[in-house]
């Protein structure tokens, strides 16, 4: 199956009841397994964000896909399936949206008649594990495992009979599972951008319980190299939290220093409980290279009026 690009753990962590790996999978309401894909095509202006999340303790599967064209929402489709009776291997689907493993590749499929797409994700680097020691005190409240990987997307989107070619273009995917209580996080910032098939940067930093954390890597065309330190200066909108852009400076384990300039193109507010999440597509430049990628900002927020404002803003996208 190509161990360089897909590990056994990358397939699924959901098993029939007599084969459950951990009691948390069926006893903790926050236990969740999710798959996520994001791509951006500079030439066509088409962008895609899609995810499937599985919550076995609640017998619940959620998902959505969002296509953006020329920085405007083309189609947004939330998907929910209640009372899923069992969760078995290779069951990555919800209401017509399906993620299928094909060797080391992933195929994303949806067909509702009016909206169809068939897109292949082919990896360009090895999987990078974000959290491997869930006993770490910093991560004990969100004791999840997490993979990240860059790749090339190519396929076709069809809306009301009109076909749009997708790619080839760059993007990334992630796979996470475990206890996902994001209300425990003070804040985090995630930056993902593939500048070419031989250079990409992935950085995740933030704070949990007042203690800072830093994870991430640089893919240099040969291997994933750990990021050792970072400094981020963000430009915010009028509310002081919506990111408009950032300057990110990182140093990797090979002693290389990179400065990345980011400018937000599309910002999508998402209101999870007791938190505010901004999912943004951004243009990024570094060392004479340009690309488009994902910048994600999450803040702990206990003020219900501010969460209500974010929810109203989200409705304006629908």
Single out the residue of 185, 158, 149 nearest to residue 302, CA to CA.
185
User: Taking 50 as the threshold, does the pLDDT of residue 233 lie above it?
Assistant: yes
Q: Transcribe 229-250 into DSSP letters.
A: EEEEEEEE-TTS-SEEEEEEEE
Asked if residue 294 lies in contact with residue 190, where contact means CB atoms within 8 angstroms, the answer is: yes
215 prior amide bond cis, ω within 30: no
266 neighbors 281 (Cβ within 8 angstroms): yes
Q: Looking at 79-83, 133-137, 159-163, 284-288, which range is the least confident one? A: 133-137
- Looking at CATH, the fold of the domain delimited by 1-180 is given as AttH-like fold (2.40.370)
pLDDT at 305 over 60: no
Can the peptide bond before residue 35 be classed as cis, meaning omega within 30 degrees of 0?
A: no
DSSP string, 199-217: EEEEEEEEEETTEEEEEEE
Domain spans of the chain, in order of start = 1-180, 188-318
Q: What is the pLDDT of residue 105?
A: 93
pLDDT tens, 83-133?
Answer: 766 655 456 889 999 999 888 899 999 999 899 999 999 999 999 988 655
Topology of the domain comprising 188-318: AttH-like fold (2.40.370)
Mean pLDDT, the chain, integer: 81
């Amino acid at each position: 199956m190509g161990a360089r690009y897909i590990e056994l753990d990358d397939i699924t962590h959901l098993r029939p009841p007599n084969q459950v790996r951990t009691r948390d999978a069926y006893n903790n309401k926050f236990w969740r397994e999710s798959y996520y894909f994001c791509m951006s095509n500079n030439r066509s202006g088409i962008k895609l964000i899609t995810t499937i999340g599985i919550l076995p303790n609640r017998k619940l599967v959620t998902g959505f896909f969002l296509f953006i064209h020329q920085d405007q929402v083309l189609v947004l489709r939330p998907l929910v399936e209640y009372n899923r009776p069992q969760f078995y291997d290779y069951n990555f689907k919800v209401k017509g949206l399906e993620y299928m493993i094909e060797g080391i590749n992933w195929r994303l499929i949806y067909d509702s008649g009016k909206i169809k797409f068939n897109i292949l994700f082919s990896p360009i680097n090895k999987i990078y594990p974000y959290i491997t020691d869930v006993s770490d005190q910093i991560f004990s409240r969100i004791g999840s495992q997490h993979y990240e990987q860059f790749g090339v997307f190519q396929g076709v989107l069809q809306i009301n009979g009109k076909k749009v070619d997708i790619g080839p273009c760059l993007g990334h995917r992630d796979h996470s599972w475990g206890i996902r209580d994001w209300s425990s996080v003070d804040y985090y910032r995630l930056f993902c951008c593939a500048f070419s098939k031989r250079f990409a940067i992935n950085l995740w930093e933030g704070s949990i319980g007042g203690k800072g954390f830093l994870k991430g890597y640089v893919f240099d065309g040969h291997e994933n190299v750990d990021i050792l330190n970072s400094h981020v200066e963000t430009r915010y909108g009028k509310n002081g939290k919506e990111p408009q852009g950032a300057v990110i400076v990182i140093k990797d384990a090979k002693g290389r220093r990179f400065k990345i300039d980011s400018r937000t193109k599309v910002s999508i507010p998402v209101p999870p409980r007791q938190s505010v999440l901004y999912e943004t597509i951004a243009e990024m430049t570094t060392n004479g290279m340009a690309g488009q990628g994902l910048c994600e900002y999450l803040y702990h927020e206990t003020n219900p009026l501010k969460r209500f404002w974010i929810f109203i803003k989200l409705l304006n996208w629908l």
